[in-house]
Structure 1
Amino acid sequence: MDALDVARWQFGVTTVYHFLFVPLTIGLSVLVAILQTLWHRTGNERYLKLTKFYGKLFLINFAMGVVTGIVQEFQFGMNWSDYSRFVGDIFGAPLAIEALVAFFLESTFIGLWIFGWDRLPKRAHLASIWAAAIGTNLSAYFILAANSFMQNPVGYRINPDSGRAELTDFPAVLTNKVALITFPHTLAGSFLVAGSLVVAVGLYHVIRNRDSADTGAYRFATKFGSWVVLVASAAVLFTGDIQGKIMTEVQPMKMAAAEGLYTTESPASFSVLTIGSLDGSREVFALKIPYLLSYLGTGDPNGTVHGINDLQAQYATQYGAGSYTPIIPVTYWSFRFMIAFGMAAGAIALLVLWSQRKGRTPSSKWLLRAGLAMPVLPLLANSFGWIFTEMGRQPWIVFGEMLTRNGVSRSVSLAEVLTSFTAFTLIYATLAVIEVKLLLRYAKAGVPDVSDQPATDDTDDAERPLAFAY
């Protein structure tokens, strides 16, 4: 083990941990805004209760996401300074815009939303949560645009004197074909997570608190969240199909590794199960669906999909001697876990809707257990999706331009990386316990009492004090 191995582990752990909070923040910000809009339009008190209830869970998660996200950017200078030096001119632009525009938009209007319940006019207060949701989604786009450059470099040139990548076309970076499809795919995955949380909490109260005066609100939340999950599941499949075709075009090795496809095939079969040799160089056993991989990768059932061994030979000729193959078992299984966990959440949502058909009240303990597992399933799907995305690009940190081993900081020792890795892991473990306890406590508490809610007209009382709603 050397500093490179530990630096990769540290970045992988902190990235996956941070991304546990990101999709919930993205999706829940919009769902809370929709609930508040329903209250604004109808005046129905149950929507106000649900807005404040899920809004509190959103704020807890948002705070944790901010704390863990800050560490991400520090690591570029700590353990990956050679990478930052090489690509900073390009990578820094979308990240700077994300921080200066999207994040400040998001955080400013979240502050107005938190403190403005008893102060702002009703329409202005509603606009603040929508502005925060827009800022959250803009943040996601700029970060994904930066990451997409690593997958498919565009809009740049290599300075022969400095050896650095220099930005030549910023619009090309923002309109990278990988970013344009990764963004809606990520949003769909985020709504899958947020909708699952809404279902889980609502279903818990529907089954456990059957005689509660707020049962109607919980039943609506359960149905609302279930429909969000189903629509998001369809969107994930649709955008994932497009993303697979683009991936086959710009990163054919990643697609080949995802399917355990060792030799070029035309037509290519989709692998239901492939067992390879221990060194990952050949196929030992495979169960396949004919023509499906060709269609998923190229849109043509008879299309050609290049295999791992042929691509390895091509890259060795193009980039020099060395291995250009990712770890096949990791990419193969992470791709399948991503799909399986996401589909499982959709199946449970369908079951929850079926259990409430024609006004029925669900009571099954098995359904409750499945519902409580729902938020975990899309979180796992998102995590395995990121593992697949980043591990499938290896050994490149910037595809075709910089190998991962060349991006690590040369002056950072193994002991220093181990120290920071251990510290981050312990801190993140503590934060995880705090996050889970807070979410469980406030989720079990149920919707708040809003009987003392002030008048919801649009007049502004200059004498009314600023109030913290949570």
Structure 2
Amino acid sequence: MNVVDLSRWQFGITTVYHFILVPLTIGLAPLIAVMQTIWHRTGNEQWLRATKFFGKIFLINFALGVATGIVQEFQFGMNWSEYSRFVADVFGAPLALEGLMAFFLESTFIGLWMFGWGRLPKRIHLACIWMVAIGVNVSAYFIIVANSWMQHPVGVEWDAERDRPMMNNFIAVITNNTTLVAFPHVILGALLTASTVVAVIGLWWMARNSFRAAKIEEAAETGDESVIPETSSPSQVGASPEQLRHDNQTLWRPVAILALWVVMGSGLGLFITGDMQAQLMFKQQPMKMAAAESLCESETGAPFSVLSIGRQNNCDNIEHVIAIPNMLSFLADHRFDTEVKGVNELQKQYQDALGMPGHNFAPNLFVTYWSFRAMITWALGSVVVAAGGLWFLRRKRSDVPRWFGRLALWMLPTPFLANASGWIFTEMGRQPWVVVPNWADPDGMPLKVHMLVQDGVSNNTAPMVWTTLIGFALLYGALGVVWFYLERRYVIEGPADKDSAAVVAKDDDADDSPELSFAY
């Protein structure tokens, strides 16, 4: 592989590693804020236990997310310096706002929230977690602003002296219609991820408590205590069947119900915003639309391909086996008779417009086609959790079968994979561009505002990029193991008991409290 291929692999690998953590951070912060708000309003200590428990999971995820995200910033200068030079006048503002306004906001208030238990007044402490929730979403917005400009450049003029675009309308950049559609889709994807995690943990704990309670009752009847499973959770040690079922009814069931309804709501929202993105993509990036369906020739009333076979990166060897008639045209603009341009026609159109005959402007059809379907398929895992969870918890029930608790646990990775697949589709479908020409508005935007991927890399050697690629992959792999170990350990350990949780929640006077202390 040459330097361009290696640089793309390095940025892709580190980004996907990092984005495993991002949706959980974005989605879990508001869920924890809601849990703490319910405790603040009702005084129900079970919601305090839930806040502390999921707060621990959030903090671990946040810390590793920051560590992996730092590498992204350095890569812009180290591996993609020509790209950074080209977009500098545009990216400077949103990335500065993301760092100064959003990240500082969330990191400052997460410190106050983390160390402020028992030292800050309850209302101020509650406000801190809401500020964190706002901060992570504002941070996401400015990152989406930057990414959306790469997908659909607006608000700039061409600076002939410096041979690069210069921003002349900041409002146009931050209100790019691509941003306004992509941002809610990303946030809803994060909420789907976080709510699935919360729901799965709640369902798994209810199944665990129900099974243990049944075994304790069996041991009482038979006198054989060997049937009682071992446990490392303080909340289960010495607990009676009544206590375990009480925990299910008063702690895990309300938390799971909250999360399951968020799963349903965010799933519906993703369906709506995904449809809006498809219509926008049809206008702004028609090549991505065609590649997502391996549609090589233009068609009126184009079908949606459910399954195609063949050498899918070659238009001459693709056979569509299962297709829904006219559905792709409907997705494009809600009309069944719309013409959707195919890869071959768009190739010729782009070559003529840019004066680059013979150049290949199509993305990797295989990756684009299957990453789009993977995104949809993986998202169905959350649907399974939501449908099954709401069924088993209907009519105030809290006993969850052990098999469904295990099934829910197997569904846990699916929203993470759906998010990763969606971003792979978004970025790979944009190829070979790192900044896509604004085909949708050729009169209001200079067509020269674009950059091919091979023009954006730094002047590094292949061995240098190989070294950093391997190093980052190993480092991120090690961090991934640490992340998984810590999250697994504290999920299995479970929440603190009521008395332990309440110790760090009381409103003591500052003089009587210990100096700043980590509450976990």
Q: Name the TM-score, length of structure 1 as normaliser.
A: 0.97
> Which deviates the most, 11-20 or 368-377?
368-377
Distance 2:152 2:350 in 1: 16
Q: Does 1:48 align with 2:48?
A: yes
- Equivalent in the alignment of 2:486: 438
| Alignment-derived partner of residue 156 in structure 1 | 156
Partner of 1:197: 197
User: Which amino acid is the alignment partner of residue 199 of structure 2?
Assistant: V
SS state at 1:249 partner: helix
Per-residue deviation, 1:344: 2.5
Q: Residue 456 of structure 1: CA displacement?
A: 6.5
- The match for 2:395 is 358
Aligned length, in residue pairs: 469
Correspondences of 1:43-442 after superposition (within 5 Å)? 43-210=43-210, 211=241, 212=244, 213-215=246-248, 216-277=250-311, 279-282=313-316, 283-319=318-354, 320-321=356-357, 322-400=359-437, 401-410=450-459, 412-442=460-490
2:447 maps to which residue?
Answer: none
- Native 8 Å contact 1:274 1:287 kept in 2: yes
Q: Which amino acid in structure 2 is aligned with residue 369 of structure 1?
A: R
Q: Are the equivalent residues in 1 in contact too, given 2:119–2:508 (CA < 8 A)?
A: no
Structure 2 unaligned residues grouped into runs of 5+: 211-240, 438-449
Change beyond 3 A, Cα 1:28–1:397: same
Question: CA separation in 2, counterparts of 1:299 and 1:135?
Answer: 36
How far has the Cα of 1:292 moved from its partner?
A: 1.4
The CA deviation at 1:467 is 3.0
Please say if residues 118 and 507 of structure 2, whose CA atoms lie closer than 8 Å, have aligned partners that are also in contact: no
Task: Return the offset for 1:277.
Answer: 4.2
C-alpha contact 1:121 1:460 (8 A) present in aligned 2: no
Q: For structure 1, which segment, 3-12 or 444-453, has the greater mean C-alpha deviation from structure 2 after superposition?
A: 444-453
Contact 2:313 2:365 in 1 (8 A): no
Moved more, 274-283 or 235-244: 274-283
Classify 1:297/1:457 alpha carbon distance in 2 versus 1 (closer, same or farther; 3 Å).
same
Determine the structure 1 residue equivalent to 2:517: 467
CA distance in 2, matches of 1:463, 1:170: 50
CA shift for structure 1 position 2:
0.9
Displacement after TM superposition at 1:306 (Å) = 1.2
Report the AA paired with residue 4 of structure 1: V
Deviation at 1:449, TM superposition (A): 2.2
- Matched AA of 1:262: C
Tell me the CA shift for residue 276 of structure 1: 4.5
Aligned-pair CA distance for 1:369: 2.2
- Label 1:281 to 1:222 Cα distance change in 2 as closer, same or farther (>3 A): same
How far apart, in 1, do the equivalents of 2:31 and 2:58 lie?
10
d(CA) in 2 for partners of 1:203 and 1:75? 40
Shift of 1:257: 0.6
| Structure 1 counterpart SS, 2:340 | coil
Any conservation in 1 of the 2:50–2:251 contact (CA below 8 Å)?
A: yes
Deviation (angstroms), 1:448: 1.0
Structure 1 stretches of 5 or more lacking a match? none
Max Rg structure? 2
**SS of residue in 2 equivalent to 1:19:** helix
Rounded to whole Å, the distance in 2 between the matches of 1:441 and 1:309 is: 53
Q: C-alpha distance in 2, partners of 1:294/1:30?
A: 37
Deviations 1:331-367 (A, max 9, x none): 0000000011112311221111101222334443431
